[in-house]
Structure 1
Amino acid sequence: MHVPDGFIDAPVSAATGVVAAAAIAVSLRGARRELDERTAPLAGLVAAFIFAVQMLNFPVAAGTSGHLLGGALAAILVGPYTGVLCVSVVLLMQGILFADGGLTALGVNITDMAITTTVVAYAVFRALVKILPRTRRSITAASFLAALLSVPAAALVFTLLYSLGGTTDVSLTKVATAMIGVHVLIGIGEAAITALTVGAVIAVRPDLVYGARGLEQRLKLRVNGELVDAQAPLAPVTPRASRRKLWLTGLAASLLLAGFVSFYASSNPDGLEKVAADQGIDRQTKEHASADSPLADYGVRDVDDARLSGGLAGVIGVGVTVVAGTGVFWAVRKRRSTSQVA
């Protein structure tokens, strides 16, 4: 759902840029409360993982594909404020290095793909975990539903922005119907990826899942010969896997997905591209400012072999994103520590 330059006019693009800048400023302050020595490295890894999985377009309908947006996954794993920053880092790297998502539309993309998905997903997630049984399965189920709803919500926000600043005269009813319809299908893929990833992390280190903090699971204790309910922390007292091992495993998975599996991703246009072509909202699309980047379109310039070119671009993208993301989150964490000392 990366919006290119030319879809939205300058005034609305500038306004969303202000919204995005304000949200990032608020998220930087909020992330100080969410990040600690355990989760700061994980946040950088989450950004890199989202970058990698976004390269894996999956088919959702005839001639249409979709990919992970990542807001729900980031919010549940590392917190909503940090989640906004994770997705924003990914969008920035994609726009500058890979010519994916317009630079003048960066505010639109952050507002739509980072802020909307994260806020909607985390609100739904928190509402669900309050009413569902307090178990690990409930967290996974809540992750699925939160991610599922976040994608059509982002499609709706794009439609609203297009109604305010669209550069072509098209039927907004048709745009809204097409956008929400196809992104409901994409949301199913988003939900599956999010639930599987959250479930995998919970299985080895539930204490590192932000959305699982403070939750408890019911245990039965035998007291005077009778079974009674007891409350036990969801996270184990002794972790079954070290943070380093989890980080290295996650990084290896990200590199594998971006460097190898991405070659087999669907080549069909994603939901926004398909709707834009069908409804004619792409008539004013402008050439990307980074179109001459050596990594534009997720390939390495002068590398003729498509598999090698795409794989190298994916590996470079994961590396740059994990370094940039980890740097940002360690700086936020350090600022928190400095503030506490002061």
Structure 2
Amino acid sequence: MKKYMKYGLISLMGLPIAAAPAILIACNQEVKSQTDNASIFNQSLIQPKNKHESAWKRFLSNSSINNLLKDIYPNEQQRNKYIRSQMAIDDGYLTEVRETFIYNNNLNNENDSSSFPGDLYNRNTPYKHNKKNQLTFELFEKNWLWYLFNISKFIYILDPETTDDPTVLVNQSLEDLVAQNGLNTKFVSVSTNDFTEMVKIQPEAHENKNIETMVVDGKEIKVKEVYSTYYLLHKEGYWFYITSTQFVNEATNEVVGLKTFRLYEYLNTLPNLPTYKEELRHKFSLHKYIDAKIGSESGSALKGKYSELFIKNLEEAHGGQPIKYFIIDNLVANKK
């Protein structure tokens, strides 16, 4: 018999923390939650000295980003250390990212970029492809906060495999799209780095296995690996899919370390969401959508509540089945 994973689902709406406390939505109930700003806002870490630091302070004041950081790095010192490392990345990194994705993306099938993360040291793989794999690993598993901060500097293109549009061909190149004047309809970029909602899904305690021993602060303790998934909704209607595995003290249930983290590069959306603009918050709930999708696909007791017809009607109300976009270029480089 197939075993299905039970889960708990939490949604954190991305209201500016300075304006209002975060809203915690669990099991479709709104619960007020105190937001501790001290760990980020009142540190000398980001007391703005220039426009760059001011921009970072504004970005980190977004409650979805703040709550994601606190969940991944509960320890304040580790969290602030990570934030500092991301703020210190210079502009040259953006150029390096651009060069890598222009050479190797889903349109350039001849470069076979589908093997991420792949074998970074395979002697039979082209150097540029290995470099792309290595940089992609670094960008989405290590420098993900920098990436989200700079999200408005990237250009994305519609993934041909998620649309029935006959004008989007798998083997089309960037040059083909330019020649066909297809940039306006096939390419997207967002104008801000504002996020409005974060949804966290975590298996029930008995689903977390792999008990092992770790030394923490000089003491040997038993830890379990806890796997979580997140969905992060941008204010313009696109969401990211994120996964993490944390080491948790089996006795105290306290997070003691991060094993893995990955932000997947695709922008996901339903066709009509980007058209809602300021009305997105009132017309669409990522929490309800993910709850319905997982409930209908898990084979759990929720299956009766969320039928395939329910999901289809929900998606049709927002323009149809999910589509996604992948990185093709960045705006800063194109302005030079």
TM over 0.5: no
TM-score of the two chains, using structure 1 as the length reference: 0.25
TM-score of the two chains, using structure 2 as the length reference: 0.26
Name the structure with the higher strand share.
2
